[in-house]
Structure 1
């Protein structure tokens, strides 16, 4: 009986390893063909007026460069709205200066007083979404640096049947070990899975940039449909899906500059996203170990007798397969690779597996240094009046 159980464990481990390795190779291939494949799908040439929404919270490193890149878009008809829950802050002052440097673009700063959602970001977005003068809204996080034609290129994908266009972010300019670990997470398993989904024609709500029509958003339930979660981006995609509108990824990646990062902050950020997947995308959450190398290491060691090799040999092959695949992909994409890559890789894998285990029981997450209880569901936004913003005079 014990021998039968042990043999079953060896077989299951070998099957797990094979599935995980196949997923690695397929996702790396998807990452390489993604720009060409997805660009062919972006066939729309319409350029309707757009309201650019810039939620403002903290004056992080690179804030001005990132926000200024939004005002430098080569797009014919554009207005810009910045929104903050504070009346005054260093970030608001910086945003005011940025707007002053671009007088050719009609711009406003809004003080959002909404307090109804589980996510502070949703509260902050309520004001500009209602105050926007155009139906098409392009929302950008404050840590994303755009190329001058990113808006035009993203607009190519907002076609009939598409409710929202997002973009896959890539990490750039990591300046310490914590940032290198986060870059390895972003440019590694997370990104590979998004590439694979996008290559197959799918998409998820990834809130670094979001392009959508406000009329579709309201028809899908508006803020009442996303007030319950800290994962407002994916909730928006699911709400649009319920009215038969797809979410897709642009062929363009968007640049997120990291600078220096604290490992504790990296852990908390990854935990927040993992908890969102646990609550909103349970199948994706359960599949996460297949995308990680650490479970594959264990599977290789346990399943090695099935192919007649020593556990140390199986571990070495697995380590080299994962590290070399991701290193070659980084070279192909032009991302930073250092001699410390093996140590960064191992630190990433340990952190991500710890995050996944923690996410099973976590009920509180951190967003912008604010602790949020994910069990609170937020009041319905449908009952709120839209006039909750005060525009700067």
Structure 2
């Protein structure tokens, strides 16, 4: 009986935590709406975009960057190798928008084991303005992209970020990716923000260039294998905060294979394990797997119906989560709950993978991430 009571208590506590996290994220997030037009004297902004390879939505994401509603901004595209096919796509788009200041820079500054950060160094150093956004090339920037980033900056801000929100999935595994990105990872990031635990996210980062340059510059982000982890620790160390935009920006997904979803989530899990182990450890208990396991143990001990118990737990987890997606205008479909179930089946395995060594893949790079971030090393595929 003691085991039954303990299992029931654990299950109830996890379900309550899940529900509270959804409520806190709900309070922080806003449904997407157009921000007010910027003032004519709005400060100029540099946007540094590291790029590698052609993705299905590359033409659209490139064009969006040239259509932003901001009076004075420049685009700095960073590509490591001159033979990368994305360079031609960038040049073609630049030629279509000659009125927008834009540069394409080549080179690979090996300041860290993080290939994206290495690619950004030249762009950061070339940026002309005091406000700099580091933006991944697969962000689907709305016209008010810069407004939303600037509106989130507060007197105690050291950094403003946006998590990615998965959109336009093509196929079931892309919907699983949406379930990871949106109502799990974005939700918990906004939950942390509501609790005063702001974590940086490298998808879109707005920096005050003088602030970062006074504290080591972009090289300071090489202190950890993940630049967003280094950014979080740097900003917190300055007594400042990481703030999030009210409505995060889309990342169109297109088609996804299970191997790609697994590889990406395993990489992120390993990075979280290396950089924030105390926060990573409880991740085993997010989602439905653990509350369902404890609930079934309690049901077996008390003689309750196992099938009914399963349905109740799954409804308690997924209905509020689905409601969050609907309320905030995120992707939702009849298959999304099934995708959430598959995601939560994967969570324990991904969590375990996060504790293990071995190589993981990042867009053609094999990265060996050790248990100490300073010992992380990158080995180029085929080398």
Provide TM-score, normalisation by structure 2.
0.89
Q: 3-state DSSP class of the match of 1:339?
A: coil
Q: What's 2:259 paired with?
A: 264
- The reply on whether 1:18 has 2:12 as its aligned counterpart is yes
Q: 3-state DSSP class of the match of 1:268?
A: helix
Give 1:298 deviation, angstroms.
0.5
Q: Which has the larger displacement, 200-209 or 102-111?
A: 200-209
CA distance in 1, matches of 2:30, 2:325: 17
Provide TM-score, normalisation by structure 1.
0.87
Q: Deviations over 1:346-377 (max 9, x none)?
A: 21112222111111113422111211111374
CA distance in 2, matches of 1:186, 1:13: 29
- The reply on whether 1:157 has 2:152 as its aligned counterpart is yes
Q: Which has the larger displacement, 250-259 or 46-55?
A: 46-55
Q: 3-state DSSP class of the match of 1:144?
A: coil
CA distance in 2, matches of 1:103, 1:172: 30
Give 1:228 deviation, angstroms.
4.5
How many pairs were matched up?
A: 370
Could you say if the C-alpha distance between residues 369 and 201 of structure 1 is closer, same or farther in structure 2, counting changes exceeding 3 Å?
Answer: same
CA distance in 1, matches of 2:236, 2:22: 28
1:82-97 matched pairs, under 5 angstroms? 82-97=77-92
Could you say if the C-alpha distance between residues 83 and 204 of structure 1 is closer, same or farther in structure 2, counting changes exceeding 3 Å?
Answer: same
Q: Which has the larger displacement, 128-137 or 216-225?
A: 216-225
Q: 3-state DSSP class of the match of 2:176?
A: helix
Q: What's 1:130 paired with?
A: 125
1:136-155 matched pairs, under 5 angstroms? 136-155=131-150
Give 1:258 deviation, angstroms.
0.4
CA distance in 1, matches of 2:289, 2:254: 27
1:276-295 matched pairs, under 5 angstroms? 276-295=271-290
Question: Are the aligned partners of 1:202 and 1:248 in contact in 2 as well (CA < 8 Å)?
Answer: no
Could you say if the C-alpha distance between residues 346 and 143 of structure 1 is closer, same or farther in structure 2, counting changes exceeding 3 Å?
Answer: same
CA distance in 1, matches of 2:42, 2:303: 61
Q: Which has the larger displacement, 323-332 or 134-143?
A: 323-332
Q: What's 1:344 paired with?
A: 339
Could you say if the C-alpha distance between residues 240 and 342 of structure 1 is closer, same or farther in structure 2, counting changes exceeding 3 Å?
Answer: closer
Select which of 285, 291, 297 maps to 1:296: 291
Give 1:30 deviation, angstroms.
2.5
CA RMSD of aligned residues (A): 2.5
Q: Which has the larger displacement, 369-378 or 252-261?
A: 369-378
Select which of 77, 95, 106 maps to 1:111: 106
Q: Deviations over 1:22-50 (max 9, x none)?
A: 1221222233322359x9xx9x9883211
Give 1:319 deviation, angstroms.
1.1
Give 1:334 deviation, angstroms.
3.0
Q: Deviations over 1:127-152 (max 9, x none)?
A: 10111111210111111111101211
Give 1:110 deviation, angstroms.
0.6
Q: Which has the larger displacement, 288-297 or 53-62?
A: 288-297
Could you say if the C-alpha distance between residues 105 and 254 of structure 1 is closer, same or farther in structure 2, counting changes exceeding 3 Å?
Answer: same
Q: What's 1:220 paired with?
A: 215
Q: 3-state DSSP class of the match of 1:220?
A: coil
Q: Deviations over 1:7-34 (max 9, x none)?
A: 2x44443332222211221222233322
Question: Are the aligned partners of 1:73 and 1:150 in contact in 2 as well (CA < 8 Å)?
Answer: yes
Q: What's 1:200 paired with?
A: 195
Q: What's 1:33 paired with?
A: 27
CA distance in 2, matches of 1:52, 1:189: 28
1:291-370 matched pairs, under 5 angstroms? 291-304=286-299, 309-370=304-365
- Structure 1: tracts of 5 or more residues without a match: 1-5, 380-393
Q: Deviations over 1:161-193 (max 9, x none)?
A: 211100132111101111011011112221221
Give 1:195 deviation, angstroms.
2.2
Could you say if the C-alpha distance between residues 167 and 329 of structure 1 is closer, same or farther in structure 2, counting changes exceeding 3 Å?
Answer: same
Q: What's 1:77 paired with?
A: 72
CA distance in 2, matches of 1:159, 1:327: 31
Q: Deviations over 1:102-141 (max 9, x none)?
A: 2112111111231231110111011101111112101111
- The reply on whether 1:251 has 2:246 as its aligned counterpart is yes
